[in-house]
Every structure is written in C-alpha cells, then in structure tokens.
Amino acid sequence: MSITVKNNIFSIETANTLYQMKVDSFGVLNHVWYGEKTGCEMAFCQNYPDVGFSGNVYDAGNQRAYSHDTMSLEYSSLGTGDYRVPAIEITDERGVSSLDLRFHSYEITPGLFSVKGLPSAYADAADCKTLSIRLKDKFSEVYVTLNYGVIFDRDMIVRNACVLNESNGEIVINKAASLFVNLGTDDYECLHFGGKYAFERSAMKESITDGIKVFESTRGYSSHQENPSIILGRKGCTEDVGYCVGAAFVYSGSFKTEVEKDHMGQTKVVMGLNPEQFSWNLKKGESFETPEVLLSCSTSGLAKLTKNFHKTIRENITRGKFNLSSRPVLINNWEATYFTFDEEKIEKIARQAAELGIDMMVLDDGWFGKRDSDLSGLGDWFVNEEKLHGGLAKLIEKINAMGMKFGLWMEPEMVSEDSDLYRAHPEWVIKIPGRDPVRSRYQLVLDFSNPEVVDYLYERIADILSTNHIEYVKWDCNRSISDWYTPTLPANRMKEMPHRYMLGLYSLLQRINDNFPDVMIEGCSGGGGRFDAGMLQYCPQIWCSDNTDAHDRTFIQYGTNFIYPVSAVGSHVSAVPNHQTGRTTSLNTRGVVAMCGSFGYELDLNKISEEEKQVVIKQVARYKDKQPLIYGGDYYRLNDPYESGMAAWEYAATDGTSALIQGVIYRAEVTSLKKRIFPKGLVEDRCYRVTKRMATSPEDIAPESVTDEQSYTGKALMTGGILLDNYKGDDVAFELEIKLK
Ligand code: GLA
C-alpha cells in the first residue's frame, strides 16, 4: 500500500521514501517528514517553540507556542500569521487576501491524476495511486485540493493544487504554487540550472543561507537563463551518498522557484507559475488547476535522484510511439547552409549522408515564404518554390528514394512583420495598442491565447503534414515574449494571458500528436530555451543548445542530464572551427560528445575528407548499436567537469551485464599520473573485460580499440578504477566498454 491514513497522519510510501503529513487538533495540515522509510509516525519530530512576534491563530487560545509563523505547514496562505513565503495568495471581492486553510476531506483514487489541457504524468492505474487532500477556508467557501500522485517504483510524487471557488463573490488567484515542500532544519546546498543563450543549464551550486533565493523565468517560456528544475542536497550529499530532493515543473512558460531558509532555520521549496505574470479570476463554481511538479527524494545520493527523474520523464511524461523506440540519426542543414540553399544543395547533402548510413534529412529554416534571412517570411508556411523548385513533395520524394526519411523545421508561434500573414492579420500578434512592440530577432509573437490563431496554425500545419511525407518536425521558438495584451480578454483578466498562451500551445501540440502520430516532434527554442518536462510530453527530444562546440557541450549536457534523460537531448556533430566558439575539436571528440543524446550531424558532409567520411560511417553504426544502452541504461556522472579537468559519464545496463563510459579530457598534462575512472552499476562479483578506445592526439580521429586480456571483478573496477592512457592535445575523447567476460 503506497498511501495510508491513520491517527490523522497521511503517509505516502514509495519504494525507498516516506512522505508524511498530519492534521493537527486545529485541523491544520502540517508537513511532518520527507525522507527515509522509518516504519513509524514521525510527528514526534515536530517542534513548537514560543517565539515573540510570531502570532497565534485565534482558536489556539492562549497557546503561544502554536504559530503558523514557525510551523512546517503543508500549504501556507496569507492572513494566519505566517509571514514567510506563501503557497497561495488570492483576493476576494472586498480586496481581502486572507485564507485560513483547514482540513476538509480526502480521497485516494487509483492511477495518477491529470490536469486538463496541461501536460501531465501518466502511468498504468494498477501501478499508481493519487491522494487528494481537500482544504477549506475556515471563513468562506474557497477550497484548495492538494494532489499527490504516487509513482511507487520511481520514488516520485506528482504534485499540484486545485483552487475551487464556491463562494458567492468572484475571487482572483494571484499565486498558487504547484509545489510547497518543507525540508527541515538541515543545512542545504542547491543545484540550479542557469545560463544564457548558447550556454543553457549550467549546474550552479549554492549554499542555502537565511533568506529567500529566487530562480525564475519571466520570459513567457521556461528560458535559457534558468531551468524550471532544482535539486537541494543536504551538506555532504554526493553522487553516491546523502539526502537530496529534486523538483521539475511540468510546464514551459514563466515560472518561479523560491527557496526560503526561514527565521527558524527551516528550508522550504516553492515552485509554480510566476506570480509576476499570472492571475486568474474564478466565479462561483469555477476552479483552477495548477501545472504539475515532479518531486523526488533520494537518500542515497544524486545518482539515484537522477535515475528517478530519467525514468519518470521517459516512461511517465514523454508520450507517443517514438518515446521508447530507437530514433533516427539525422543530418540537419542549418549550419551547413544557413538560409542559402536550393533543392540541389539539399539533395547533395542528403545523398552524401545516406551513403554514410544516416537515416533522416532535416530541412531547417528558410524553405518557406520570403525567407532569405531572418528579416522576413515567418508565418508564411508555404513552400518557397524559387528555392525549392517543384515544391516540398518532389524534394521529399527524391530524399525518400535515397532511403532517407524527411524532417522539416517550423516556428509556428512567430511572425515576421514582412510576411503575408502579418499583413493579413496584424491583430493576431502580441502587441499593445498605442505602443511599439518589442522586436527580437526581428520577429513578433503570435497570440496563442486566441483560439482563432491556434486553429489557423493547426490547419496550416495539418495541410503540410498531410500532403507531404514528413516524419519529423523541428518546432522552434526564437524569442522571449513581451507586450502581454490580447483583445480577447478584459482588462481585469489580462494577467491570465501568459498561461492561456501556454494552454493554446499545448492544445496545438496535442492535436498534432493525436492526428499525426507518425510524425515525431523535436522541441527547440534557439537551442534549449524551452527544455522542460512540459514540452517533453509532446516532443521526445529537444535540441539541447545552439552551441554545438563539443567542449562546451560536455558542460551543457552535464547540467541537462541531472534531471532530463539522455534520449531527450538533441545533440549533433558540427563543423570545425566551431561556428559559435571558433574552437577546433577532433571528429572523434565531436562524435563521442554528440552520442550522449539523440545523435545527428549538422554540417555539409561533402566538405569533409574521405578519411573523415569513413569515421562518420563508423560513428553512425556505433551509435545505432549502442543506442539501446545509451537510452535505456542507467546514466551516471563519473566526475564533475568543473572540478576535475575532464568530463566522464557512463551508461550501465540495468542488469549490470555491460557498460559504456565516454568522456573528454580537457587539457593535456605533462609528467602527471594517468587519470583514473571509477565505473558504477557493475555487479561486484562478476568478471568483466575492458576495451579502451582512446585518441592519442587530436589528429587521431579513429582511435583503435584495445581489449585488456585480463579480467576484473566488478568490485575491482568500481573501487580500483580504470587507468586512462597517456595522450597529447586538448579535448581528447575516450570510450571504455565493459562487458561480462
Ligand atoms: C534556432 C535553432 C537553430 C536553427 C535556427 C534557424 O536558432 O536553435 O537550430 O534552427 O533557429 O533559424
């Protein structure tokens, strides 16, 4: 039984963790415990100090020690004497913001709850349960239901909140967190994933000190600058030992994560829609459901937490036939041609790629409208026959005849002012009447909160997909949103627009998924600007970053993979010197790094040497062979690239029979000891053979495989490590294959 209720205590058990809440004598829902399974009611840990200036709820009478300002509440509000970060904030018709939430009822239902119109975790009903606890304002008919969907094997709790207004007047929700979780008085460090365009999701570590830390996006999409996910680890938590908690928002719009260490030294995490860009009006009988958050806890270090998220996102978030299947190795023409191409150039790239074993040609930006640069054409989703004579169908036919699938780039949410769509429908863009809109990459954003706009785009995309044999769409989104205004909403509801935009986007993606199940969508936003568990429901993979430099990618992918599975990470080999950084890395290094994801190429393969072509053939074959292990194995970080001068990661078969380790040594060192790598996930008493593939210099693009004749026990390898050979040059990649003898 994963959920039990006894002595007013709610216990949620997963395979390795226990989450407990208690309804106290005043009907207030307290957070009691999140951590190891103890087989016990943990309410004895609660602590009620008498603290000056921390007020008491009225019905506590003279009990000065009973204060919401010091307690560990499960979902806090304004107006009951808690001055810390609240979970919920509403205003009623009198302008009053107080809510005094008390326990009302609960329900346990089979399966996972889901949120209408929003991406939601899913699972077999038999495997999961949902606990719904209903709270009610003591003084009005406002209800808040907290949902806890339990995915037992993954140590995962899916959270959200639902606000229902049954009072006679209208209320406005100004804030409604999806996640509010107290983590006690321990010292914590947090890992958040910040960055910028072309350097997304850097793993940033910070100590949690007194006060409030905010990690957020106000850009209308989840953003390059901060990812909607976070990990808090107790001091001393490492990859293999210690306590940590992670949360990932299943949402792609603006968000806010608050980490507060309060005046009692208690830490809490609050995650949800960003209140700066949100409000929602509820009339009598109406309700609002927040997006979901995935919450997990590991008491055995970060690697286990990562495993919980990887499995959940792959098997309970991402949907569709491509989710767990193998994915095509693709060639994308963006960095090969940018906007300058015609059908001959594309066919030539495709033909060469087909000869090297690549499965799919993806035609990037520039195939439609008057799109010769990023100044014009967005919105005109009609093929540009001056570039592609004979249109898409003819080109696709030729590419299919080469044995290649065909994929197409689109950026459906955007419009150029110089486009037929904008000229016909200037009222469809997000723009404030009487003010100049903000332009970004010369483009404006379409108003996806307006169903008419979304319907138009569905028809346009559906027409393209049903009249052409397209098997993949790269769905881009190349700017942040500003100028929030829509003629479709009254002034007092304008702050509903950012969330309504997301509802419009999700409805469009869902319609495409439902009606074109054979088309795989890859998410993209100027690289990985919208890399989140929300998008991953509709797109099994997302282009990780516009930065394709192999050296930088080891850092970007390191940060990305704390939460997101390897199969979700779009990753390509591109030309050197790299177009973003000017850095030159070897074809071997570029191949090894790009294999840690959904693999492809993004360069003109006609321009590489014959020797390099032979290497590409081997890389493609090798990736296809290893893809089941790379996607389905347990992923481990073997070191921290920020600290150790190298990146190394591993995929271990879940039954411990084999493992593949890959990595890059950043700088050659003279007269130093050989570097050592410690594999994980092997069976201690089984015997393994190790094959090394290590370049001896940057020029060595096809390093030989050398198998060690000696065999080693799993324990010997995991504790003694494997020595890496000497090498010369910077950014040299290596691979180690470990197989049962
Ligand atoms: C974005 C994407 C790139 C490419 C360009 C095309 O920047 O991330 O991969 O598709 O748009 O304009």
Measured at the CA of 631, the angle between CA 625 and CA 635, to 5 degrees, comes to 115
- For the chain, residues with pLDDT lower than 70 are 1
From 478, 480, 574, give the residue whose CB has the most ligand 1 atoms within 8 Å, as the site to mutate: 478
Say whether 646 sits in a helix, a strand or coil.
strand
Query: 437-453 burial by CB neighbour count: b if 16+ within 10 A, else e?
Result: eeeeeebbbbbbbbeeb
Ligand 1 binding pocket includes 529 (Cβ within 6 Å): no
Ligand 1 binding pocket includes 407 (Cβ within 6 Å): no
Ligand 1 binding pocket includes 522 (Cβ within 6 Å): no
Question: What is the C-alpha to C-alpha distance for residues 51 and 364, in angstroms, rounded to an integer?
Answer: 62
Give the residue whose CA is nearest to atom 12 of ligand 1.
Answer: 365
CA proximity to 76, closest of 201, 161, 193, 186: 161
Ligand 1 binding pocket includes 262 (Cβ within 6 Å): no
Ligand 1 binding pocket includes 478 (Cβ within 6 Å): yes
In the numeric block, the tokens 């000056």 are attached to 52
- Whole-prediction pTM: 0.98
Query: 399-418 burial by CB neighbour count: b if 16+ within 10 A, else e?
Result: beebebbbbbbbbbbbbbbb
**Residue ranges with strand state E in 377-446:** 405-410, 414-416, 443-445
The single-letter code of the amino acid at 661 is I
Ligand 1 binding pocket includes 641 (Cβ within 6 Å): no
Question: What is the C-alpha to C-alpha distance for residues 182 and 261, in angstroms, rounded to an integer?
Answer: 10
Question: What is the C-alpha to C-alpha distance for residues 106 and 624, in angstroms, rounded to an integer?
Answer: 49
Backbone angles phi, psi at 188, to 5 degrees: -120, 155
Give the residue whose CA is nearest to atom 3 of ligand 1.
Answer: 526
Distance 343 CA to ligand 1 centre (A): 19
Tokens encoding 84: 């810390």
What are the distances in angstroms from CA 363 to CA 95, 347, 471, 486, 659? 54, 10, 12, 33, 35
Ligand 1 binding pocket includes 367 (Cβ within 6 Å): no
Give the residue whose CA is nearest to atom 11 of ligand 1.
Answer: 526
The contacts of residue 657 (CB under 8 Å, 6+ apart) are 739, 740
Confidence at residue 1, expressed as pLDDT on a 0 to 100 scale? 58
Give the residue whose CA is nearest to atom 1 of ligand 1.
Answer: 526
Confidence at residue 669, expressed as pLDDT on a 0 to 100 scale? 86
Confidence at residue 355, expressed as pLDDT on a 0 to 100 scale? 98
CB atoms near residue 516 (< 10 Å): 17
Question: What is the C-alpha to C-alpha distance for residues 111 and 121, in angstroms, rounded to an integer?
Answer: 10
303, 633 Cβ separation under 8 angstroms: no
Give the residue whose CA is nearest to atom 2 of ligand 1.
Answer: 526
Question: What is the C-alpha to C-alpha distance for residues 274 and 177, in angstroms, rounded to an integer?
Answer: 9
Distance 193 CA to ligand 1 centre (A): 22
371, 339 Cβ separation under 8 angstroms: yes
SS3 content of the chain, % helix, strand, coil (to 5): 25, 35, 45
Distance 741 CA to ligand 1 centre (A): 45
Tokens encoding 167: 């009072």
Say whether 695 sits in a helix, a strand or coil.
coil
Angle, to 10 degrees, between the axis of helix 587-594 and the axis of helix 550-560? Answer: 10
Pairing of strands 142-151, 128-137: antiparallel
Q: Which residues are catalytic?
A: 532, 612
From 197, 199, 331, 334, give the residue whose CB has the most ligand 1 atoms within 8 Å, as the site to mutate: 334
206, 265 Cβ separation under 8 angstroms: no
Distance 364 CA to ligand 1 centre (A): 8
The single-letter code of the amino acid at 474 is K
Confidence at residue 670, expressed as pLDDT on a 0 to 100 scale? 86
Ligand 1 binding pocket includes 524 (Cβ within 6 Å): yes
Ligand 1 binding pocket includes 526 (Cβ within 6 Å): yes
Please report, rounded to a whole number, the percentage of residues in the chain having pLDDT higher than 90: 96
CA proximity to 444, closest of 413, 423, 488: 413
The single-letter code of the amino acid at 695 is A
Distance 374 CA to ligand 1 centre (A): 10
From 413, 440, 546, 572, give the residue whose CB has the most ligand 1 atoms within 8 Å, as the site to mutate: 546
Confidence at residue 726, expressed as pLDDT on a 0 to 100 scale? 74
Give yes or no for a cis peptide into 577 (omega within 30° of 0): yes
